[in-house]
Structure 1
Amino acid sequence: SSVGSMVASILGLLAIMLAFTFNLAASRFDARRQVVLEEANAIGTTWLRARLLPEPQRSEIADLLRDYVDARVSHVDYSTIDARLARSEELQELIWSRGVTAAESAPQSIMTGLFLQSLNEVIDLHAKRVMVGLRSRLPLILWVALFSLVIVGMLSVGYQAGLSGTRRSPAEFLLAISFAVVLLLIVDLDRAHAGLLRVDKHALIDLQRSMQTAQPRSER
């Protein structure tokens, strides 16, 4: 019937929209995971190069880098995100100032230049992680379109069932549950610091452990 064809078209469009949105959310989730790995590698490189700097900058920067990794590993939710970001940026400034001091004391030092280069990459990756993790979200218009299609699709299924005069089929219930599960997964993937799906921080945690056992903290 024409109503059946219309319902099938709406559900098909809804399925396409769900697949598109899920792929978009999954790619953003994967980008957040990748930038964590890149950040861990960059901090690790900075840590190794910092150990070749002269004293007292070497010990000071080592301690600050430990604090920086602790800040990056710590659990973050929407109530503490601003404080965590401010702490990370404060530590970046402190580490950079120590690096500049080392560069001024030894202007011809190649290792100091390499250290500042890797530190600059750490700062860039921090900005990238903030962008990917907090500000790169699915646009509101996409959510409006998606939920509108879900509502229209479920109403059309109910309308068709009412016209046919048949009893509710378990298949209709399973269809609604399937769409709801996919929708919840999309919502969860789009939330950076909430929900069940979290970005794996094991690369940063492993780095944190290696830095803690590398050498004792200096007295500050």
Structure 2
Amino acid sequence: MGYAFFAFTLTLLLFLGMLSLLEIGRRIGNRRQAVDPEGARAGTGTVENAVFALLGLLIAFTFSGATHRFDDRRDLIVEEANDIGTAYLRLDLLPEAARPRLKELLRHYVDTRIEVYRKIRDTTAFQTELSRSNALQGEIWREAVAASAAQGAATDATKLLLPALNTMFDITTTRTMANLLHPPFVIYLMLFGVALVSALLAGYGMAGSRSRNWLHMIGFALVLAAAVYVTLDLEFPRRGLVRVDDFDQALIGLRNGMK
């Protein structure tokens, strides 16, 4: 089952659950008013305000965090492209005999980095490409160290090239870890729970009317479910509708310019 289908199903269940609890809350409220018309609403406003405030805080917290992490992931793509481009240019500081091999390795390396994130939906293919890029890192480093120690290599060139390669390698770990960085599961569990409780309380507040206010009931459930869905999509920007794939053009453009 794909992530997009899973996220849609999860938010659909939340939407249906909220609609059901709105109706349940309304019926509970109607029964309460039939038994005690004067006291049915006594003290409920304070509880409702507290729960709705908590719901708003949770949505704001999760959405803001997801947006921040989404922006960070886009920035890391550009940063990696810049790091690779810097390292590629500094290969020209090495002796001419060592340049073709290292440039070829770097071109293969960029190819694997592009494929790593193209295949992120397939765990096996993703790990295979990640292993290939890690293996190429080792090979590039060994070749660069050997070329830096070769006769005719400038010491200053080594001081510029090796740190650039090290930065280029480090950003891959940063990007991999950034893709695994998400809020604890309990945060989402609490968000779903508070949303459902809010629906129950909102339904209770609608008690007393002769007919159901479908516009408000559906609108309430739909808006909250949509907010949760967008938040989940922002957390996994290569699996759902919200994507960072366009920023991969930074790496693709870099690769096209590596002649």
Runs of 4 or more, structure 1, over 4 Å off, are: none
Amino acid at match of 2:120: D
CA-to-aligned-CA distance 1:53-89 (integer Å, 9 cap, x gap): 2244211111111111112222122422211211111
CA–CA distance in structure 2, aligned partners of residues 166 and 11 of structure 1: 25
Question: 1:97 — aligned with what?
Answer: 142
Structure 1: state its 5+ residue gaps. Answer: 215-220
Amino acid at match of 1:142: I
> Given that residues 103 and 113 in structure 1 are in contact (C-alpha distance below 8 angstroms), is that contact kept between their aligned partners in structure 2?
no
CA-to-aligned-CA distance 1:7-37 (integer Å, 9 cap, x gap): 3432232122101110011111111111111
In terms of Rg, which structure is larger?
Answer: 2
Q: Could you tell me which of 199, 211, 223 is aligned with 1:167?
A: 211
CA–CA distance in structure 2, aligned partners of residues 115 and 99 of structure 1: 8
Question: 1:217 — aligned with what?
Answer: none
Amino acid at match of 1:37: V
Question: 1:203 — aligned with what?
Answer: 250
- The alpha-carbon deviation at position 45 of structure 1 amounts to 0.4
CA–CA distance in structure 1, aligned partners of residues 231 and 131 of structure 2: 29
TM-score (norm 2): 0.75
Q: Could you tell me which of 34, 47, 57 is aligned with 1:16?
A: 57
> Given that residues 94 and 148 in structure 2 are in contact (C-alpha distance below 8 angstroms), is that contact kept between their aligned partners in structure 1?
no
1:1-220 equivalences under 5 Å are 1=41, 2-74=43-115, 75-78=118-121, 79=123, 80-106=125-151, 108-133=154-179, 135-161=180-206, 163-169=207-213, 170-199=215-244, 200-211=247-258, 214=259
Amino acid at match of 1:187: L
Structure 2: state its 5+ residue gaps. Answer: 1-40
> Given that residues 91 and 161 in structure 2 are in contact (C-alpha distance below 8 angstroms), is that contact kept between their aligned partners in structure 1?
yes
TM-score (norm 1): 0.88
CA–CA distance in structure 2, aligned partners of residues 196 and 190 of structure 1: 11
Number of corresponding residues: 210
Aligned partner of residue 93 in structure 2, secondary structure? coil
> Given that residues 234 and 242 in structure 2 are in contact (C-alpha distance below 8 angstroms), is that contact kept between their aligned partners in structure 1?
yes
Most deviating of 100-109 and 88-97: 100-109
Most deviating of 52-61 and 121-130: 52-61
RMSD: 1.7
Structure of greater relative contact order (alpha carbons < 8 Å, 6+ residues apart): 2
Amino acid at match of 1:77: I
